[in-house]
A and B are shown apart, each in its own frame.
Chain A
Amino acid sequence: MSATKPAPGLSLLREPLREAGGEQMLAGLRTALSWLEANQQEINDLNVFPVPDGDTGSNMFLTLRSAVEEAQHAPTPSSVESVMAAAAHGSLMGARGNSGVILSQILRGFAQGVAGRQRIDAPGIAHALSEASTVAYRAVMKPTEGTILTVAREAARAAVAAVGETEDMRVVLERVVRESHTAVEHTIDQLQVLRDADVVDAGGYGLAVIFEGFSRAVSQADAPGPPPVQPRRAGEPPLRLPFGEGTGRGPAPVRRGAAAVAAREEGWGYCTEFLINGPGLDVDGIRTALAAIGESALVVGDPDLVRVHIHTGDPAALIALASQKGRLTKLKVEDMSAQHHDVLERADEDEARAAAPKELGVVTVASGDGFRDILKSLGADDVVPGGQTMNPSTEDLLNAVRATNAKAVILLPNNANVILTAEQVDQLAGECDVRVVPTRNVPQGVSALLAYDTTAGVDANCERMLSAIAAVRAVEVTRAVRDSTADGHDIKEGDVIAIVDDKITQVGDDYPGVLESVLAAESNAPELVTVYRGDSVTEADANTLVAALRDKHPRIEFEVHEGGQEHYPYVLSLE
């Protein structure tokens, strides 16, 4: 230990933190992830529409988790550049929903801002945050104030202002956290939809939470951080227990009182392997002890060396127990869901290589068996599960695109909150030319597929699909999940509402009444109405409802199909 560096704990005054390395970046991201997870539900609840909607908190959490997973495998863990570049790539692969995609762009901008840096200082943080804000704004076609973008920009501004006064990264990051929360509070004044719903912007709040977690971990550089998210490599330091004691963390001062709690790792499942070095090992005793903690236990060896291969949800406990028996070597812990994914991907790739690539494929997104079957029957190569409340990740879409084994793929997101994710796929898809035809709902996706011509090229098909989706109007009917004011309607929980092309146009007491008002409000009567019933509607109920509509509108052709979608008992297309 050098003489200029005081031993930890001897200094009562807080030393300024002048710089940080890759390890602190990783610790920051991990803590940010824990912070985000603890606040996930609260962020989800900041839903501006009275309908089940894309879960911003879950989307941001899954996006950041993907970033952390990859950051843990950064080629040079001590390098800020290396860790942040890996995080940026990981977040892009895992990006879900619009907030997730913007978060991935923030991380990408940050990574660009720290390019070439092994370590980072206060001006470096300010520069990286400024880059993050710039890149995020560029990613959105029409940037809106009062969103996550505003929070990113205000955070950068706070950092730039702070470095004029101090070299202490702690101070800079504290300002970032404070100003980002202030920006979050102001979002309600910037967006009418937020004012109507009386909430702050969910994505902006999520970003402030991330800054808060990040700031805490970086500032407390000498305190143990949260557990690794997905430790994989042999020879990593022993796993730390989640939020070990003595970290000195108080309750999280985030809005609405939620406090960070230990990151749960339920259901992840780790494949854990190591050697226990003897002498004097009791192989049978070890097997019995370890098997209690995991499954598929393989414990073999002799008193000098025991090989262990166990699947467990709690590798830390397993390793702690095993380390009491002898010295551990060749430690390897792998996330099995990730492995499973890798295996599937490899299988897909092998298959893809075996067959000659086709010219064009189509990948679309929907929830509901009926919708999936219809979209497949119209020629979609794959229907990625997802939609309104479960947004697929960039990687989900990328895998489906790769599995088509096509030189060009058209992506039909079928949801406004999936379009931005879909637009990230092309840059990751290598040689494959990925185009997005921005379908905002399944009826538009159906129209686009009807226009699909397998013998024409990708450009001609995109053009056709674009004009096809302009010719269809989509109606989504559901019950309001809470009281609110939206699109000029006073809505009570339980009201039936009809959303026509993303706007609430009709509010009423029952489905027949609301559907009747929708048809009555059309200035040009449609010729063909296709009714897709959701998973909560029986065939008989749907037929009764449509029979009544037929009686009133003898000139309109009606067709009823099973969509099987959640949350929306009826989805209609008007042509």
Chain B
Amino acid sequence: MIHIVTDSTSDITAAEAQTLGITLVPLVVRFGDDQYRDGVDLDADAFYNLLQNNSVHPTTSQPTPEQFVEVYRALLRDPDDAVVSMHISSKLSGTLASAHVAAKEFDSGRIHLVDTETVSAGLMLLVRASLQDVAAGKDAAAVAEMARKRSAKVTILVLLDTLTYLQRGGRIGRAQALVGSLLSVKPMLTMKAGEVAPMARVRNQRQGVDRIIAELKARLPLRGVAIFHARVPELIGELRDRVCATTGDAEVLLGRVGPVVGAYTGPGGIGVASLGVD
């Protein structure tokens, strides 16, 4: 049997993971000395409350190799069990490195690691696509290979309220170019080659949404779209309607940006991930 493993930066909730039949490995988010497992001890609502009422800036850390070893051991009980372990871009987090160390404890060929070069809604879209490959009867190596290929078809468009959190967290990458404007602007980011990259600056959310729609249009046809937000539910309804009107047949999913990713985006962010057709 092929098991899909991912991490909590996919922003797949525990309940969804159970429904999908996948295993989530949580990262850790800390406020000072308080430590929480992403999505296990702390959900999105609780996290944004903490973020708003806490002067300490949260930090995050990757899962330990032991966490992966435990997960893999539990899944690889039978000789025909195999794992496809799909994770956050290795340029944003050491999660994949921990998984790599853990995988050495097992026979080669049983665990297939995938650097998805994306995160959050993008990672979630790839996981769901891989589940369909598994359902279609592909073997683990093929599922992993298809996921790697497909990762090039993922686009993440992020509209943030501020770059402060990304900058403090040290994950700003080339989006540094967007910092320092004397006008009030909302930064738009994307991911290129697994790293955060600047996309644009807009003057307000409406302009940002217009830009997202324009980018989606340029990428049609799409297999799926996921709209994730960090505490701006009021924008989501309208955004979903506009996305649906743009993308036609593509599946459109909604979700929340969870604690670990939220520690970098801050409240007020919107992310739209899209996956092109195979």
> Which residues of A are at the interface with B, using a C-beta cutoff of 8 A?
373-374, 377-379, 446, 450-451, 453-455, 464, 471, 527-528, 530, 557, 559, 561, 575
Partner of B198, one of A446, A455, A528, A557: A455
Q: Which stretch from B62-70, B96-104, B130-138, B177-185 is at the chain A interface?
A: B177-185
- Residue on A with the closest CB to B184? A559
Interface membership of B207, Cβ < 8 A: yes
- Residue on B with the closest CB to A377? B182
28 A-B residue pairs with Cβ-Cβ distance under 8 Å, sorted by A, are A373-B182, A374-B181, A374-B183, A377-B180, A377-B181, A377-B182, A377-B183, A378-B182, A446-B183, A450-B183, A450-B185, A450-B200, A450-B201, A450-B202, A451-B200, A453-B198, A453-B200, A455-B174, A455-B177, A455-B197, A464-B200, A557-B204, A559-B183, A559-B184, A561-B182, A575-B203, A575-B204, A575-B207
Residues in A neighbouring B201, C-beta threshold 8 A? 378, 450-451
- Residue on A with the closest CB to B192? A455
Residues in A neighbouring B141, C-beta threshold 8 A? none
**Cα–Cα, bound, A286→B271 (Å):** 80
**Do A561 and B183 form a contact, CB below 8 Å, given A455-B192, A528-B204, A575-B207?**
yes
**Cα–Cα, bound, A390→B202 (Å):** 31
CB–CB B207/A454 < 8 A: no
Interface membership of B73, Cβ < 8 A: no
Beyond A453-B200, A454-B198, 9 extra complex contacts between A and B, CB < 8 Å? A373-B182, A374-B183, A378-B183, A378-B201, A446-B183, A450-B183, A451-B201, A561-B182, A575-B204
Interface membership of B220, Cβ < 8 A: no
Interface membership of B199, Cβ < 8 A: yes
Residues in A neighbouring B184, C-beta threshold 8 A? 559
- Residue on A with the closest CB to B180? A377
**Cα–Cα, bound, A471→B214 (Å):** 14
Query: Which of B174, B185, B192, B201 lies at the interface centre, i.e. has the most chain A CB atoms within 10 A of its CB?
Result: B201
Count of chain B residues near A, Cβ 8 A: 19
- A-B pair count, CB < 8 Å, reads 49
CB–CB A374/B182 < 8 A: yes
Residues in B neighbouring A528, C-beta threshold 8 A? 203-204
Majority DSSP secondary structure for residues of A touching B: mixed
**Cα–Cα, bound, A466→B201 (Å):** 15
**Do A530 and B204 form a contact, CB below 8 Å, given A379-B177, A455-B197?**
no
Q: How far is the CB of B74 from chain A (nearest CB, A)?
A: 42
Q: Which of B108-165 contact A (CB under 8 A)?
A: none
Q: Which of B165-207 contact A (CB under 8 A)?
A: 174, 177, 180-185, 192, 197-204, 206-207
List the 3 closest pairs (A to B, CB-CB), nearest first: A377-B182, A450-B201, A374-B182
**Cα–Cα, bound, A561→B203 (Å):** 14
CB–CB A453/B183 < 8 A: no
Residues in B neighbouring A575, C-beta threshold 8 A? 203-204, 207
Q: How far is the CB of A571 from chain B (nearest CB, A)?
A: 13
Q: How far is the CB of A572 from chain B (nearest CB, A)?
A: 13
**Bitwise interface map of B from 219 to 232 toward A, beta carbon under 8 Å scored 1, else 0:** 00000000000000
- Residue on B with the closest CB to A450? B201
Q: How far is the CB of A487 from chain B (nearest CB, A)?
A: 29
Q: How far is the CB of A176 from chain B (nearest CB, A)?
A: 52
CB–CB A453/B199 < 8 A: yes
- Residue on B with the closest CB to A373? B182
**Do A454 and B177 form a contact, CB below 8 Å, given A373-B182, A446-B183, A561-B182?**
yes
Residues in A neighbouring B202, C-beta threshold 8 A? 450
